[in-house]
Structure 1
Amino acid sequence: MRSPAAPQNLPIDGFDAARWRALGGMRQEPPWQTLPDHVRRTSAGRPWQGLAVWHQVGPLGDLYVPPHDSHVILLRRGQPTRLLQRHGSQVGQTHLQRGDAVVLPTDTPSFWRSSAARDNIHIDLAPAWLQRAAGCDVALANCFGRSDTALAAFADLLLASLDNGASLSPAFGEHIAMALAIHLVEHYAQPRSAPRAQGSLSMRQMRQVADAVQGSLHERWPVARLAALAGLSPFHFARAFKASFGTTPHAWLQLQRMELAAQLVRGSRMPLEDIARQTGHPSAAHFSHAFRRHWGLAPSAYRRAG
C-alpha cells in the first residue's frame, strides 16, 4: 500500500466557514440521503447490519457533508483526480488514483473539492464492527488517500453483489463487515485502550479449534466463530492463528476440507453431491471447481486415478 497523505495546514480558497459551522447542527443521516442527486446505486434495503455500499457519481463542486454515525471508506472508481479534503480540524490533499482509498472516521464533518467529476464507491461501516473485531474500543485515524488493494477488492465485491442473490443474505453482509473491520483495525485504527498482547495460540486453543472444525467441516466457520472457541477477539485470533498454524484461518479450513474430500472421493463411492455437503460446499459444481483448483484434477478424474 502506498503511504497515506499527511494532514496539512492549507488555505482553502473559497471555503465557506459559515456553511462549515452549520454542519455540526445537522441531523445525522445515511450519506446517500445527504447527497441524493449523487447516488447511482445503493445497498439500501439489503438485510445487512451496520454495513452499506453506494456508488456516487456527481459533477465538480465543493461538498460540505455533515457527520454521521458510520466510518466511511471511499474508493476512487473514475479517472485520477486531485482531491482537497477537510476531515474535522485536519486538511489534506492528494492525487487520488483509481482504486485508492480515503478513510473518514465516524462523527466527523467533511469538506471535499475534486478536480474531476465524482465517481466513487462508498462503504459505510458501523463502529460496533471494529469494537467486535478488536475486542476493545478503537478509533480510526484520518486517511486522505492511499493505495489499498484489499479495500478496493471489498468495494468491487460489494458492488457486484448488488446484481446477484448474495446481497440478499444477512450472513454475506456479516462476513464482509467482519473482514472489513479486521482490515481496518490492522491498518487504520489506534486502540483507545491497550488490548491484551497475543503471540500465538496455546496448545489447548489449537486443539480446541482443530477438533471443533474437523468434526463439523460441513458447517460455516467464520473468523468470529473460530475466535470464540479460543476466547479471543477476531483480530487477535487471526494473528495468533497464523503464528501458530503458519497460514490464515480461511486457508487452513479449506485445506482440511480438501483433505477430507480427497479421502472420500478416492476411498468411497459416495456421490459428489454428498461429498460437497459433507465438506461445506454449497453445490457439486462449486465443490468440483474448488477440488480441481486445489488438487489439479477434477473429482471424477481423481477417483479414476485411484
Structure 2
Amino acid sequence: MLHALPGVPRRVTFVPAMKDVVVLLFDHQTINEPVWVPVVAEPLLVWVMSGAARVEERSPGGEWAAVHVHAGDFFLTHTREPYEMRWQTEGAEPFQVMHLYLGLPLIDRAAREVLGTEAPPVAFPDVSGARDELVRLLLDPLRRELLNERPPSAMFVLGLTQALAVHLVRRYRGTGGQRPRRNALQAYKLRRVIERMTAGLAEDFHLADLAKIAELSEFHFSRLFKHATGLSPSRYFIRLRMERARRLLRETDRSIIDVGMEVGYSSPSHFSQVFRREVGVTPSVYRQA
C-alpha cells in the first residue's frame, strides 16, 4: 500500500523482523483517479485517524459502492482479488489514516487462543466504514506511540496488535464458506519488491533479482505477484515508471527528454510511445493538460 496509494506516508513501522505487523500512517488528499489495492496474504485494517471522506470501492469492472467515513471508522479487507478505490475528502480537517497488515502467524495465534489449538485458518469478511469502540481504544494509543515516541516500543506495538488480532477473530471472523488466502504473496515481501522496483526505475527490469528478494522461484514469484496486483511484475514496473513520469511532468519544468531518461528511456520516441500506450496521450499533451 505504501506504493499503491498516493498519500504522503508519515511513518512506517515493522515488528518483529518486519513480518508480524506492518503499520503505515498516511496523510491523504482527494484522489479521483482510481488506485489499485493489491491482494496479499495478510488481512488489512484501515483506520481513519482524523478528517472525513467519501470513499468508493469496486471490484475490477464492477459498480462503485460509496461510504462516508469519519474519524474512528475502519475498513477490514481480506479479498481474493485486487480492487479499485478512490475518495473525496470532506471538510477542512486533514484526512489521516492508519494501515495495519496483520501477519498470518499473529492471526493464527489469536485463532488458537480464541477457538482452541485445532482451530482452522481464519478468514475475515470485508468491512467498509464500520465503527467499533474497542478497535478505537486499541489503535489510538498505537497512533500516539508511533508518532510521539522516539523510537516507538516494538513490545508496546506488538501488545496492542495482539489484542487487536484477538478482538478481530472474536467478532469479525468469517463463516465456514470462506477460506483464507494462504497462497498469496506476503505483505512484507511485496513491500520489499516494490521498493526495489521504485528505487531502480532508471535501470533495466530483471525478474530474477526481484524473485530473489521475495525468496521465491521466478515462476512462483510471477504468479503470486500478478495475483496480488493484477499485473505481471514487468507490467507493474512500467506502471511505476509512468506514475513517476506523470508526477515529474505535472510538478517540474524538466524537459520531456530528461523525464524519460529518469524513468529508464534513453530514446525520446520510445518513451513517448510507452507513455501514450499507458496514459492515453503523449507526454507533451499530458503536460499541457
TM-score by length of 1: 0.46
TM-score by length of 2: 0.49
Bigger CA radius of gyration: 1
